[in-house]
């Protein structure tokens, strides 16, 4: 799942997640998660009169997903709030793939320890992290289906290949970067069937 929406003028929510499992039950769990994400964020702001922290919204979603979940289905979720004017980005990572930041010619996997995935353990506290997305910087978010893509020999595309492809394409637009990395991954797979879906969300600050 992924989502991009305006929390208030000048503040953008960025979210990407991955539900465990396949089929209709996983799809319904995904839809529920996305609904809770939007409703929780927008209602929090409307009721409290302040902008929530990503960790507060993630905690609310976790509490709701833990209810009526006898099979302990879970979802990973990366949620960030981006201030467009300043570039300040505050995020919470609940068990999701590490984000990748391209800044000043350097490509870095932001490996701050993630919090647990959502839907399994109630009453968890989650952590926020923040940084400045400067002009020209790019935030690359993906599901694990990209790094886990396999070729006929069951070799995985891997995170190193993603980092290498991003490094080799400095200065391109967010859309072209996403297309380029996907093209490289599909070329690597060379037609081999895949067992997982792929989601990318790429954000670049232009000014």
Residues 149-167 pLDDT 10s: 999 999 999 999 999 999 9
Query: What are the pLDDT digits (tens) for 107-138?
Result: 999 998 889 999 999 999 999 999 999 999 99
Give me the mean pLDDT over the 191-195 stretch. Answer: 91
Of the candidates 59, 66, 11, the one whose C-alpha atom is nearest the C-alpha of residue 37 is 59
CA 36 to chain centre: 16
Cα–Cα distance for residue pair 19/60, rounded to 1 Å: 17
Check residue 27 and give left, alpha or beta (phi > 0: left; psi -120 to 50: alpha).
Answer: alpha
Give me the mean pLDDT over the 17-45 stretch. Answer: 94
Q: Give the percent of the chain with pLDDT over 90.
A: 89
For residue 206, what pLDDT is reported? 94
Structure tokens at 39: 């409703």
Cα–Cα distance for residue pair 74/112, rounded to 1 Å: 21
Give me the mean pLDDT over the 10-34 stretch. Answer: 95
Average pLDDT of the chain to the nearest whole number: 96
Cα–Cα distance for residue pair 174/180, rounded to 1 Å: 10
For residue 71, what pLDDT is reported? 84
Residue 195 predicted with pLDDT over 90: no
Reduced to 3 states (helix: H, G, I; strand: E, B; else coil), residue 105 is coil
Cα–Cα distance for residue pair 144/163, rounded to 1 Å: 14
For residue 127, what pLDDT is reported? 97
Of the candidates 77, 93, 200, 188, the one whose C-alpha atom is nearest the C-alpha of residue 138 is 200
Residue 168 predicted with pLDDT over 90: yes
For residue 86, what pLDDT is reported? 97
Check residue 158 and give left, alpha or beta (phi > 0: left; psi -120 to 50: alpha).
Answer: left
- pLDDT interval class at 70 (50, 70, 90): confident
- pLDDT interval class at 63 (50, 70, 90): very high
Alpha helices in 15-122 (DSSP H): 23-48, 54-66
Of the candidates 31, 49, 8, the one whose C-alpha atom is nearest the C-alpha of residue 17 is 31
Give me the mean pLDDT over the 73-81 stretch. Answer: 97
| Selected residue with higher pLDDT from 72 and 92 | 92
């Amino acid at each position: 799942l992924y989502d991009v929406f305006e929390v208030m003028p000048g503040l953008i929510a960025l979210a990407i997640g991955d539900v465990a499992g396949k089929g209709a039950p996983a799809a319904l769990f995904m839809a529920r998660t996305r609904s809770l994400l939007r409703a929780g964020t927008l209602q929090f702001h409307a009721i409290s009169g302040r902008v929530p922290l990503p960790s507060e919204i993630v905690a609310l979603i976790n509490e709701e997903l833990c209810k009526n979940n006898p099979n302990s289905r879970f979802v990973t979720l990366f949620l960030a709030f981006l201030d467009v004017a300043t570039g300040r980005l505050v995020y919470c990572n609940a068990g999701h793939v590490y984000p990748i930041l391209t800044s000043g010619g350097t490509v870095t996997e932001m490996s701050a320890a993630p919090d647990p995935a959502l839907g399994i353990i109630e009453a968890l506290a989650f952590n926020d992290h923040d940084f400045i997305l400067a002009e020209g910087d790019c935030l690359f978010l993906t599901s694990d289906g990209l790094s886990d893509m396999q070729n006929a020999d069951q070799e995985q595309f891997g995170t190193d290949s993603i980092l290498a492809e991003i490094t080799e394409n400095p200065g391109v637009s967010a859309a072209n970067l996403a297309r380029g990395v996907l093209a490289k991954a599909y070329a690597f797979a060379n037609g081999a069937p895949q067992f997982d879906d792929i989601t990318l969300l790429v954000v670049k600050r232009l000014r």
